[in-house]
A and B are shown apart, each in its own frame.
Chain A
Amino acid sequence: MVEVLKVSGLEKRFGGIVVADNIELALVEGRVLGLIGPNGAGKTSFFNLVCGVVKPDAGSIVLNGQEINSLPIRERARMGLARTWQNLRLFQSLSVLDNLMLGPRDYSADNLLNVMLRPGHVAERERDSRDRAFAILERTGLTEIAHSPISDITFGQQKLVGVARALMNDARCLLLDEPMAGVEGQAYALIQRVVRDIAASGVAVCVVEHNVAFIRDLCDEGVFMFAGKVLARGSVESLIADPLLTELYFGT
């Protein structure tokens, strides 16, 4: 059980709103953790804290055994942390393929000197990235629309592009924020399979999702969050069977 990501004592509040209340959580190699909880529970905020989008008030975040609290977003990504966004955040002026092309941890043109002085080297890296991108597009069933602009594809396809772009990182830790929201029928099985394959290859995965059936089918374990607190951890079955949690979830 290798802990890829370990969060301890994580605290964050926005004014009066507590989004992280002493969170203790670990993501383990090869396993999929489901994160559930009502709207405003702090699920997305948890991802934002882990990624460095939001700075915690207290607590530590350890990735691959290294504390990353003070690292900027890009450094965390380069250590193998990848995520999708609840509101997609795809690059609208790039094609599907070019969205993916920007995703490798080491991008072909990260070094300007290489761009200027070693164009052959950069071109070779671009070719490698393109091959990888096409392999991932195939896995996610997006090959047909590789050259389409983002605005020309369906919402479900856009969700998949977000996942595909995150996969380009070859991440050790993958955070998926509501991959199923707004996605129709047949993508269900596809996303299930893709996420399972990723986990099977040794990645630590965390999925936020309101589609409880999806989480139940996919995840090895679940965590229930409410008002920034981790209230319970266990099998997804047991979490959704708990009347107290169900009440909190539906707010009745």
Chain B
Amino acid sequence: MDYVYTILILIGLFVILASSFDLVIGHCGLISIAHPIFYAIGAYVSAMLAKEGGVPIPLAILCGGAAAFVSSVLVALPSLRVSGDYLLIASIGFQLGLIEFAKHIHSIGGAGGLTNIPPFLVNDYGRLSYVLLVLAVAALTVLFVRWLTRGPYGRMMAALRDDELAFSMLGRNAIWLKVSVFAIGSGIAGVAGGLYAHYFRFLEPDQFGLLQSSAILTMVVVGGMRTTMGPVIGAIVLQILPQAITFFGLPPSILGPLQGLMFSGLVLFFMFARPQGLIAAPDIWAGRKPKAGQRGGLADG
């Protein structure tokens, strides 16, 4: 049963990651794959606050999210002011640099990893309670992204993707929109990191590298960008497939590379065979329906 709970928690966490990443890359069109580093920042900050600072765990998790939010602004603001293309380089540099840096910081466990992170809920209420917590946060994340992207903020994201110059000429602030969406997505990833840390109780820098970047990207691409359920389905499929492979009893030396190959294979397959993903987003931005009795319009609610 514990195995099933662990899988469910991982699915929930990756739903949060994929959905918040879709907000950044799908809805806002920001090219960055450094999502896992904000997951890591949330995880480490929350773990250290709880472990060394004695901060209550729910508060520590929120602080982890806030730390991810703030650091993402610091990465995005200078690079987006230069040009949109620069964000990809700046954020990957930040991701890989911070991972290397963390390996040399003794107080957070270095390359060997941070152990004995205080647990949350499980000892008092059992593993199921943690599963429910993670799934609830996942559901909230999916609903929040849906709400934000179907309201007037989402209309701005659609317009920005189409034509940044025309967007600016209407008086809209493109840089502010990009930075704020990047920060929201990264902040949510940070909260997921805290949830990860207090369940698995062990963190090591290398797990937040490019392999995880490609896993999250694959989930969004396979599931379908800019759809509510796409990242959810992508996270489920991509979490279950690797587990299923382990049942064939292959040796670990083959299993690891095989899972990596599977991610790239899936992305390639979908890029050619079904670029829109399992669920296709509509061509035209669909806002919330106006309330009854109002004049016909697409946005608002």
Q: What is the interface of chain A, defined by CB distance below 8 A to chain B? A: 51, 53, 72-74, 77-78, 82-83, 85, 89-95, 97-99, 101-110, 112, 115, 119, 122-123, 126-127, 130-131, 133-134, 146-147, 149, 165, 168-169
* A94 contact from B158, B173, B290, B300, Cβ within 8 A: B158
Ordered by A's residue number, 11 sampled pairs between the chains whose C-beta atoms are within 8 Å are A73-B165, A91-B163, A93-B158, A93-B284, A95-B284, A106-B171, A107-B170, A109-B152, A126-B300, A130-B294, A169-B170
A199 vs chain B, min Cβ distance (A): 21
Across the A-B interface, the 7 shortest Cβ-Cβ residue pairs: A109-B152, A77-B171, A89-B166, A126-B300, A73-B168, A91-B162, A78-B171
Please give, as numbers and ranges, the residues of chain B lying within 8 Å of A126 by CB-CB distance.
Answer: 152, 299-300
Q: CB distance A115 to B169 under 8 Å?
A: no
Known: A107-B152, A115-B151. A94 touches B163 (CB 8 A): no
Say whether B106 faces chain A, with CB atoms less than 8 Å apart.
Answer: no
A115 vs chain B, min Cβ distance (A): 5
Residues 126-154 of chain B, each 1 if its beta carbon lies under 8 Å from chain A, else 0: 00000000000000000000001001110
* A89 contact from B148, B165, B172, B283, Cβ within 8 A: B165
Q: How far, in whole Å, are A103 and B169 apart by their CA atoms in the complex?
A: 9
Count chain A CB atoms within 10 A of each CB in B168, B170, B290, B295 and give the residue with the most: B170
Q: How far, in whole Å, are A187 and B148 apart by their CA atoms in the complex?
A: 38
* A107 contact from B171, B180, B290, Cβ within 8 A: B171
Q: CB distance B170 to A101 under 8 Å?
A: no
Known: A85-B166, A93-B285, A115-B153. A101 touches B299 (CB 8 A): yes
Q: CB distance B172 to A95 under 8 Å?
A: no
Please give, as numbers and ranges, the residues of chain B lying within 8 Å of A101 by CB-CB distance.
Answer: 152, 155, 297, 299
* B167 contact from A102, A106, A112, A119, Cβ within 8 A: A102
Q: How far, in whole Å, are A228 and B165 apart by their CA atoms in the complex?
A: 23
Q: How far, in whole Å, are A119 and B193 apart by their CA atoms in the complex?
A: 29
* A130 contact from B148, B171, B295, Cβ within 8 A: B295
Please give, as numbers and ranges, the residues of chain A lying within 8 Å of B159 by CB-CB distance.
Answer: 91, 94, 99, 102
Say whether B265 faces chain A, with CB atoms less than 8 Å apart.
Answer: no
Please give, as numbers and ranges, the residues of chain B lying within 8 Å of A134 by CB-CB distance.
Answer: 295
* B284 contact from A82, A94, A109, A115, Cβ within 8 A: A94
Q: Is the interface of B mostly helix, strand, loop or mixed?
A: loop
Residues 12-52 of chain B, each 1 if its beta carbon lies under 8 Å from chain A, else 0: 00000000000000000000000000000000000000000
Q: How far, in whole Å, are A51 and B169 apart by their CA atoms in the complex?
A: 8
Q: How far, in whole Å, are A91 and B157 apart by their CA atoms in the complex?
A: 11
Q: How far, in whole Å, are A243 and B152 apart by their CA atoms in the complex?
A: 53
* A149 contact from B170, B180, B284, B300, Cβ within 8 A: B284
A103 vs chain B, min Cβ distance (A): 5
A48 vs chain B, min Cβ distance (A): 10
Say whether B161 faces chain A, with CB atoms less than 8 Å apart.
Answer: yes
Q: How far, in whole Å, are A177 and B285 apart by their CA atoms in the complex?
A: 27
* A127 contact from B151, B158, B300, Cβ within 8 A: B300
Q: CB distance B168 to A131 under 8 Å?
A: no
Please give, as numbers and ranges, the residues of chain A lying within 8 Å of B284 by CB-CB distance.
Answer: 93-95, 149
Q: A89-B166, A101-B299, A108-B152 are in contact. List 12 more A-B contacts (CB 8 A).
A: A74-B171, A74-B173, A77-B169, A93-B285, A94-B285, A95-B285, A110-B173, A112-B180, A115-B152, A123-B300, A127-B300, A146-B296
Segment 79-133 of B: residues with Cβ below 8 Å from A: none
Say whether B287 faces chain A, with CB atoms less than 8 Å apart.
Answer: yes
Known: A92-B162, A112-B180, A122-B151. A98 touches B299 (CB 8 A): yes
* B172 contact from A53, A90, A107, A147, Cβ within 8 A: A107
Closest to A115 in B: B153
A1 vs chain B, min Cβ distance (A): 27
Q: CB distance A77 to B167 under 8 Å?
A: no
Q: CB distance A95 to B298 under 8 Å?
A: yes
Closest to A131 in B: B295
Segment 272-298 of B: residues with Cβ below 8 Å from A: 283-285, 287, 290, 294-298
A250 vs chain B, min Cβ distance (A): 32
Count chain A CB atoms within 10 A of each CB in B152, B156, B162, B296 and give the residue with the most: B152
Say whether B301 faces chain A, with CB atoms less than 8 Å apart.
Answer: yes
Please give, as numbers and ranges, the residues of chain B lying within 8 Å of A127 by CB-CB distance.
Answer: 294, 300
* B171 contact from A92, A123, A131, A169, Cβ within 8 A: A169
